[in-house]
Amino acid sequence: MLWKKGWYETRIRLLFALALVVVIAVLTTGDPPPAAAGFGPAIAATMIPAMFAALLLPGAGVKTQLGGLRRSKGLHGSMYYTLSLPVTRTRLFNVRVSLGLAETAAIQVLTYSAILLVHLHPARINVALSDLFKHGVAAFFCVTAVYSLGVFFAAFLDEVYQHWATVFTVVGTMVILSRVPLPASMDPFLVLSLASPLNTHTMPWIAMAVLLGLSGVLLLIALKIVRSLEY
Amino acid sequence: MTECAIEALALRKSFKGHEALCGLNLTVPRGSVFGFLGRNGAGKTTTIRILMGLAKADQGAARIFGIAPGDDDSGALLRRRIGFVPEDKELYPYMTVEEVIRFSRPFFPHWRDDLERRYLKAFDLPPKKKIPDLSKGMRSKLMLLLAIARGSELLILDEPTDGLDPVVAEEVLRELIALSASDGTTIFFSSHQLAEVEQIADRITIIDQGRSIISGELEDLKQQYQRIKVVFADGIPADIRWAQGADRIRNEGRMVSILSGRNSEEIMAQARALPGTSVDTYPVTLRELFLELMRAD
């Protein structure tokens, strides 16, 4: 039932995010890149909708993702009812975060379907589906880190600030990485562009491990905060 | 099996330097109907939040059926045995009445379908109506239904009749008494409606500024406390010192009104011994007792 409740609370935002991804994917359709440039520039361009969705869904969705655990405008009073249910906060948190990640994955699937249909197919670039799958998995890890960041901020910031905190942290990380570059295999933003599996044909394991570790730490801290929250 | 449904020992809780609870003690026997009274800001809701595991006491301990409600795992198991109506009677705005019932039912192994049907009808709740379309009174009724139908051993109700018209409030109170009598359900409720508390509670605690100022069986308290009115023919002497037990003393013209919690006989004897006095005693209602205690503070 908690899954159903979570779905009720997030479905409009999810549909909005999905619609936005499609619109942005269509709007960013351009000329095919020169073959010599590889897939990097094309993927970099098409990452706009993916990254936008990554920021949008956790940023906008977290306030309802944690609706049963944090005060939020629309669900403020019902929080007490949720917390009176015989369910641990850990389970409430896990259900919410798992649902959010599933929705994030759905956005990824749509994003890469859009990339495949709108960008790569018209350009008649022959992309191996396995490479696109690898890229999608790497992107999901990246987006999971962004989502986890959103959850982390949602655990202790009011909804007005949590969205901006997520955006500024992601942008700040991009700026820092542009000045103090990491090895390409570790940089999550390069992994989604120039060092994409579409170009390298290999899974960026190191970057994925770093992102997974980062996500795990952020979610664990958020859970610890949520367990100690007072209402 | 512990005989107490709720035990709180020396609870302390502060918010930003303000002490909401200052060593509150509370004992609620199983099967009792317990009225929890106090002014706004006295610490009632803070106490209820600690009992529901929504907040943690800075010091002291709270136990429900011998279990600490603040622990995430045991608290969740404990809440299977508790029906709760919070002060904020809000529910999920995207659900209808029947959806919120259907959502809640699976969480409670002892869910009472009979009570669900009964209160759905008694409260005249429209199953297809969305929560935001319900009036405040309707939402209160739905919250009560959801708390009662859990088949709980303990109901914790924060202002349960808030928003109900007097007829429905009366009906709810009767149902609560019946529930306590038939199932032995312990009912712990806070209310500003003193007449309601007097009507159904068998025990009360009045708290003020985070501590219990009076507690016990309601009938015992009503017998224990008396109003003694002493009228002086020639005005109230300035240097009068009343015997111990004169808890609250008010001078009103030529009359002294004394609220006595003990030693009433001695106070009356002292009054009668004074020149030109007439002395009468009156029973005290809960409302009078509450107002007198609050006024003095």
Please check the confidence at residue A55 and state whether its pLDDT lies above 80.
no
Please check the confidence at residue A38 and state whether its pLDDT lies above 70.
no
Strand, helix or coil for residue B50 = helix
Counted domains in chain B: 2
CA nearest B138: which of B100, B98, B168? B168
Which percentage of chain B shows pLDDT scores above 70? 98
Structural domain ending residue among the three candidates B217, B239, B260:
B217
Q: Are residues B213 and B235 in the same domain?
A: no
pLDDT digits (tens, 9 = 90+) for B11-51: 999 988 888 999 999 999 999 999 999 888 889 999 999 99
pLDDT digits (tens, 9 = 90+) for A183-203: 777 777 777 766 777 777 888
Cross-chain Cβ contact A1/B77 below 8 Å: no
**Residue B101 token pair:** 């019932």
Q: A89 touching B, CB under 8 A?
A: yes
| Chain B: closest CA distance from residue A225 (Å) | 13
A60 — pLDDT class (breaks 50, 70, 90): very low
Distance of CA A141 to the CA centre of its chain: 8
Give ipTM to 2 decimals: 0.83
User: Which of A11-20, B121-130, B191-200 is predicted most confidently?
Assistant: B121-130
Among A75-84, A209-218, B176-185, B187-196, which is the least confidently predicted range? A75-84
Q: B92 touching A, CB under 8 A?
A: yes
Q: B72 touching A, CB under 8 A?
A: yes
Whichever domain contains B102, its CATH number is: 3.40.50.300
pLDDT at position B88 is: 82
Of A81, A88, A231, the CB nearest to B91: A81
pLDDT digits (tens, 9 = 90+) for B243-252: 887 878 888 8
Q: Are residues B209 and B239 in the same domain?
A: no
Cross-chain Cβ contact A75/B76 below 8 Å: no
| Chain A: closest CA distance from residue B86 (Å) | 7
Q: Are residues B151 and B284 in the same domain?
A: no
Kindly give, in sequence order, each residue whose CB lies less than 8 Å from that of residue B294, ignoring residues fewer than 6 positions away.
B39, B208
Interface with chain A: mutation pick from B94, B104, B108, B157, highest number of A CBs within 10 Å:
B94
Please identify which residue in the block is written with the tokens 């002086």: B232
CA nearest A63: which of A53, A72, A52, A54? A72
pLDDT at position A120 is: 60
Residues of B in contact with A2 (CB under 8 A): none
**Residue B226 token pair:** 């008396």
Write out the H or E segment, with its range, that includes residue B101.
helix B97-104
Q: How far apart are the C-alpha atoms of B83 and A164, rounded to whole Å?
A: 39
pLDDT at position B275 is: 83
Structural domain ending residue among the three candidates B217, B237, B268:
B217
Structural domain ending residue among the three candidates B167, B188, B217:
B217
Cross-chain Cβ contact B94/A8 below 8 Å: yes
**Residue B208 token pair:** 């003020």
pLDDT at position B161 is: 84
Q: Are residues B119 and B260 in the same domain?
A: no
* Structural domain span for residue B117: 4-217
Nearest 5 degrees, angle CA A46-CA A48-CA A52? 140
Q: Are residues B237 and B142 in the same domain?
A: no
Q: Are residues B234 and B155 in the same domain?
A: no
Cross-chain Cβ contact B88/A77 below 8 Å: yes
Q: For B80, which residue in chain A has the nearest alpha carbon?
A: A86
Q: Are residues B39 and B129 in the same domain?
A: yes
**Count of CB atoms within 10 A of residue A99's CB?**
20
DSSP characters over B71-90: SHHHHHHHHTTEEEE-SS--
Please identify which residue in the block is written with the tokens 């029906």: B83
Q: Are residues B198 and B248 in the same domain?
A: no
Q: How far apart are the C-alpha atoms of A79 and A77, rounded to whole Å?
A: 5
DSSP characters over chain A: -HHHHHHHHHHHHHHHHHHHHHHHHHHT--PPPPGGGTTHHHHHHHHHHHHHHHHHHHHHHHHHHTTTTS--TTTTTHHHHHHTSS--HHHHHHHHHHHHHHHHHHHHHHHHHHIIIIIIHHHT----HHHHHHHHHHHHHHHHHHHHHHHHHHTTS-HHHHHHHHHHHHHHHHHHHHHSPPPTTT-HHHHTTTT-HHHH-S--HHHHHHHHHHHHHHHHHHHHHHHH---
